[in-house]
Structure 1
Amino acid sequence: MPTLKSSYLGNLRTQMIHLQSGTEVITDAPVDNNGKGEAFSPTDLVAAALGSCMVTIMGIVAEREGVDIAGMTWEVTKVMQAQPRKIAEIIVDFNWNSETIDSKVIQKLKNAAKTCPVALSLDPDIKQTINFNF
């Protein structure tokens, strides 16, 4: 069974519907690539997926360890390469107050993040710069 149903809406815009939940995502081409930049670009979604996947896997480990990571935040920076046009680097900066968490658990969280399915699925040519500010 398909995961998504998608359609091209014209003007470099797409619509995707997640079939299990009905959640809708719109993409737009970025301004620097003939688009309006009014929504996530497809490459923005790739970068966003990396950060979200890392936190999801850290959440699984945190629950197993009895740690609450609620309040963790992150910023993602996508760096594009010009020729050929593709993602060159994704930078993820995690921020979290972990003062009361055991250093062994912190290391488990960091290791989990780096082995999330998206991180492991990205082409090795895409540099992944991950900063843990905790």
Structure 2
Amino acid sequence: MPTIKSTYLENLRTSSQHLQSGKEIITDAPVDNKGKGEAFSPTDLVASALGSCMVTIMGIVAHREGHELTGLNWEVTKVMDSNPRKIKEIIIDFNWEHPLEDPKLLQKLKNAARTCPVALSLSDEVVQSVTFNF
């Protein structure tokens, strides 16, 4: 059974619907690749998915240990390459003003992030530069 149903709209724009929830995502080609840049590009979604996946897996570990990741935030920078056009590097900076005070648990969270399904699915050619500011 499909997970997502997508449609090409026009002008380098697509719509994808998550069938279980009905939620929709619009993508648009970036300005530097003939698009309007009015929505996430497909490669933006890949970069965003890496950060979200890392935090989801960290959240599972934290919850299992009786903690939450309240206040954790992150920034994602996507670096593109050309010839062929592809993602060269994804830079993720995690920031947590008031992290947990258990060094062993913090290390477990970092290990969990680096082994999330998206991280493991990306080609080794895509550099994953991750900084944990906690």
For this structure pair, what is the TM-score category when the shorter chain's length is used for normalisation?
over 0.9
TM-score by length of 2: 0.98
Q: Paired residue for 1:14?
A: 14
Local SS of the residue matching 2:108: helix
Root mean square deviation of aligned Cα: 0.8
**Equivalent AA in structure 2 for residue 82 of structure 1:** S
Q: Which runs of 5+ in 1 are unaligned?
A: none
How big is each residue's C-alpha offset from its partner over 1:83-106, in whole Å with a ceiling of 9 and x where there is no partner? 110000000000013454210000
Q: Which runs of 4+ in 1 moved over 3 A?
A: none
Q: Paired residue for 2:32?
A: 32
Local SS of the residue matching 1:62: helix
Q: Paired residue for 1:81?
A: 81
Residue 72 of structure 2 contacts residue 96 of structure 2 at CA under 8 Å; is this kept in 1?
yes
Local SS of the residue matching 2:37: coil
Please give the residue correspondences for 1:29-68 in structure 2 after superposition, counting only pairs within 5 Å. Answer: 29-68=29-68
Q: How many residues align?
A: 134
Please give the residue correspondences for 1:48-127 in structure 2 after superposition, counting only pairs within 5 Å. Answer: 48-127=48-127
Residue 89 of structure 2 contacts residue 129 of structure 2 at CA under 8 Å; is this kept in 1?
yes
Question: Identity over aligned residues, as a percent?
Answer: 71
Residue 100 of structure 2 contacts residue 106 of structure 2 at CA under 8 Å; is this kept in 1?
no
Separation (CA, whole Å) in 1 of partners of 2:77 and 2:96: 18
Q: Which runs of 5+ in 2 are unaligned?
A: none
Separation (CA, whole Å) in 1 of partners of 2:26 and 2:83: 26
**Equivalent AA in structure 2 for residue 32 of structure 1:** D
The 10-residue stretch of structure 1 (110-119 or 98-107) with the greater mean CA deviation from structure 2: 98-107
Q: Paired residue for 1:4?
A: 4
Residue 81 of structure 2 contacts residue 88 of structure 2 at CA under 8 Å; is this kept in 1?
yes
TM-score by length of 1: 0.98
Separation (CA, whole Å) in 2 of partners of 1:102 and 1:70: 15
